[in-house]
């Protein structure tokens, strides 16, 4: 990847986007994929996260801080993609999860299971879906979910519970 001056990050010691990208692209891609539930749009999301990092002129932080910062940006931008998808679905322009787009080298039945899960998640409001995914798929603690979603702990709990109800409503009906 070529380094361009406008993508150089600020702060001593300087970290170029190339360095940054090389270190964290996989982490961002994994988180983004789990939030989106699909492979399409993932490349754009990863690029946007690193462009946001360049624009924010991130100063080098500890490994933990940098990951946390990237996760926050990824959640925010993934939320934007999901909202756009919901809008497209409303107008019949998005057909929802496609099993072929759910990548991984998983067995077909697992892929089908994931497709079913994300199809149900598509019905949830974006903010609630993000909170639930972070909590149960990413296994993040509740306070971290609240921080990544930019909401209070109570709100995070409420959002997670709402999706949980949505996903288990068959069981509840029974």
Partner 1 sequence: MTRDELARHLEAARERVEPRWDEAREAHVGAGLPERARRHRRRRVALGAAAVLVVSVVAALVVSRRSVVRVEPLEGATVAALERSSQLERFRVETGGAWFEVEPGRGRLVRVEAQDVVVEVVGTRFLVERVEARVHVVVEHGVVRASARGVTRTLEAGASAWFPEETKRSAAGQGEPSAPPTQKPSPPSEAAAEARSLPAVPAEPLPLEASPPSPTPGSRKASPVVRPAPAQPAVDAGAPSWRALAQAGDFDTAWTVMKAAPAPRDEPAELLLAADVARLSRHPEEALAPLRRILDAHAADPRAPLAAFTLGRVLLDDLGRPREAAAAFERARTLAPGAPLAEDAFARQVEALSRAQSPEARALAEAFEQQYPASSRLRAVRHFGGLP
**27 vs 69 by CB, closer to partner 1:** 27
Residues 85-144 that bind partner 1 (CB under 8 A): 102-106, 110-111, 113-114, 116-117, 120, 136-137, 139
**62 vs 139 by CB, closer to partner 1:** 139
Contact 21, 4 (CB under 8 A): no
Stretch of 44-52, 60-68, 72-80, 85-93 lying at the interface with partner 1 (CB under 8 A) = 44-52
Placement of tokens 């946390």 in the chain = 68
Three state DSSP letters for 33-81: HHHHCCCCCHHHHHHHHHHHHHHHCCCCCCHHHHHHHHHHHHHHHHHHH
CB-count burial class (<10 Å; 0-12, 13-18, 19+) for 148: buried
Indicate whether 162 belongs to the interface with partner 1 (CB under 8 A): no
Placement of tokens 């994931």 in the chain = 114
Stretch of 62-70, 79-87, 141-149, 165-173 lying at the interface with partner 1 (CB under 8 A) = 165-173
CB-count burial class (<10 Å; 0-12, 13-18, 19+) for 25: middle
Q: Give least dist CB 23 to partner 1, A.
A: 11
Q: Give least dist CB 12 to partner 1, A.
A: 23
Dihedral through CA 14, CA 19, CA 23, CA 29, nearest 10? 110
**12 vs 108 by CB, closer to partner 1:** 108
Q: Give least dist CB 92 to partner 1, A.
A: 25
- What are the φ and ψ backbone dihedral angles of 66, each rounded to 5 degrees? -65, -45
What are the residues binding partner 1 (CB under 8 A)?
1-2, 4, 6-7, 17-18, 21-22, 25-26, 29-30, 32-34, 37, 39, 42-44, 46-48, 50-51, 54, 102-106, 110-111, 113-114, 116-117, 120, 136-137, 139, 167-168, 170-171, 174
């Amino acid at each position: 990847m070529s380094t361009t001056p406008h993508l150089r990050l600020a702060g001593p010691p300087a970290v170029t986007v190339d360095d940054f990208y090389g270190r964290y692209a996989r982490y961002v891609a994994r988180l983004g994929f789990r939030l989106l539930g699909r492979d399409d749009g993932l490349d754009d999301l990863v690029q946007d996260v690193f462009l946001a990092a360049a624009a924010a002129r991130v100063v080098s932080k500890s490994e933990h801080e940098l990951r946390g910062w990237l996760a926050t940006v990824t959640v925010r931008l993934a939320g934007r993609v999901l909202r756009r998808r919901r809008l497209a679905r409303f107008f019949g322009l998005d057909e929802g999860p496609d099993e072929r787009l759910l990548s991984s080298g998983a067995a077909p039945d697992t892929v089908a299971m994931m497709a079913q899960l994300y199809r149900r998640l598509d019905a949830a409001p974006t903010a609630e879906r993000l909170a639930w995914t972070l909590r149960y798929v990413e296994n993040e603690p509740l306070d971290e979910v609240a921080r990544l979603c930019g909401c209070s702990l109570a709100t995070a709990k409420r959002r997670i519970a709402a999706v949980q109800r949505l996903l288990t409503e068959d069981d509840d009906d029974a």
